[in-house]
Structure 1
């Protein structure tokens, strides 16, 4: 039986992915800062925040698949830069601390797959959520570097760069073009589980638009 750990799975993409993996016969350990609504004989939940010093001890090392789906992103408030700092702690450092546990065990076994949920915002210079964009840029760069470094050890690393997905993080009044459903996002991830690409950017048209926006934004900074 294949074993997975899904970090950040009390709601949204992580929760839906957990249920899909269980339906497909996986044994799953879920980790999140809130309790999970999932109840299944092949499911175990561990409630802990990825920023907690005790977090690494909660991560199971002996897994075939690790999906890091934890993420936060707050709008910029000059009176609350701590919210931007937390984006780095959760989106980037939490992922790095997770991989400290699972990657050595995968390398020792000569197999395994890591999937990190990044964002098409990783190419943006964002005045609205600078911590989110910068932390996702760091996450994408780290995962892509690990993908090349770990390939010869039999370990695959996939960076999934989504645009807007219909989760609580996407709530608000701003327009969200090409909004994906959670079910669509899970299908993309499951294709990654099967095919193990180094990177997937979805929707592709939004990926192109994000790169154009970066060029325009950089031009305004000169």
Structure 2
């Protein structure tokens, strides 16, 4: 029976993915900040905060893993009175993912097999005044995972970066959420990724193109000189 670790799985994509893996015959270990509603002989849950100092210890003694999916993520719109929210995004979305990789990859490398998937975002190409911490964390995550993919593939370990646009979860904040997809659609994308093990998946593709266009427009606005006072 294949064995997976899903980090951040008490709601949203992580929860739906865990249910799908269990239904498909996987044994799953889930990790999140609160207890899970999931039960079963092939499911184990560990309560841990990926941003807490002792987080890596929560992943000790996992045993062999065929798959690890990092779904944990936070992101708040910018509030000048709450700059800590932006730092939190970097701690959870980027540092937490790196610590997870640090914990699970040695076992995969020893086995010469395994697959690490990180949920990034199409916002990884943006310079975002609306959510600077979120965009920066996803840019760092994508860069880190893509680098790991090239470094580890010769050793038999696959690393995939999955870049979603807006998904119908609590993370989809803001007045406009164009091309938003459902959680079930996101899970189907992830399951294809599990089967094919690509280095990167960007979905929806039209949203990926739109994000790159927006980045170009934003960069031009930043490079333009400020208006002169009268």
* TM-score band, normalised by shorter chain: over 0.9
Residue 227 (structure 2) aligns with: none
Residue 43 (structure 1) aligns with: 43
Residue 193 (structure 1) aligns with: 194
Equivalent position SS for 1:161: strand
Note the residue ranges of structure 2 that are not aligned, 5 or more in a row. 224-230
For 2:173 and 2:209, locate their aligned partners in 1 and report how far apart those are by CA, in whole Å: 23
Residue 84 (structure 1) aligns with: 86
Residue 101 (structure 2) aligns with: 99
Alignment partner for residue 152 of structure 1, among 144, 154, 157? 154
Q: Give the TM-score normalised by structure 1.
A: 0.98
C-alpha contact 1:61 1:101 (8 A) present in aligned 2: no
For 1:203 and 1:180, locate their aligned partners in 2 and report how far apart those are by CA, in whole Å: 8
Aligned length: 221
Equivalent position SS for 1:221: helix
Equivalent position SS for 2:129: coil
Residue 209 (structure 1) aligns with: 210
**1:65 maps onto 2:87 in alignment:** no
**1:121 maps onto 2:123 in alignment:** yes
For 1:53 and 1:218, locate their aligned partners in 2 and report how far apart those are by CA, in whole Å: 36
Greater shift after overlay, 45-54 or 210-219?
45-54
For 2:173 and 2:76, locate their aligned partners in 1 and report how far apart those are by CA, in whole Å: 11
For 2:58 and 2:3, locate their aligned partners in 1 and report how far apart those are by CA, in whole Å: 15
1:198 deviates by 0.2
1:101 deviates by 0.8
1:171 deviates by 4.4
1:62 deviates by 2.1
Residue 9 (structure 1) aligns with: 9
Alignment partner for residue 138 of structure 2, among 133, 136, 139? 136
For 2:95 and 2:9, locate their aligned partners in 1 and report how far apart those are by CA, in whole Å: 18
Note the residue ranges of structure 1 that are not aligned, 5 or more in a row. none
Decide whether aligned partners of structure 1 residues 206 and 53 sit closer, same or farther in structure 2, where only a CA change above 3 A counts.
same
Greater shift after overlay, 52-61 or 100-109?
52-61
For 1:185 and 1:4, locate their aligned partners in 2 and report how far apart those are by CA, in whole Å: 18
For 2:116 and 2:218, locate their aligned partners in 1 and report how far apart those are by CA, in whole Å: 32
Equivalent position SS for 2:171: helix
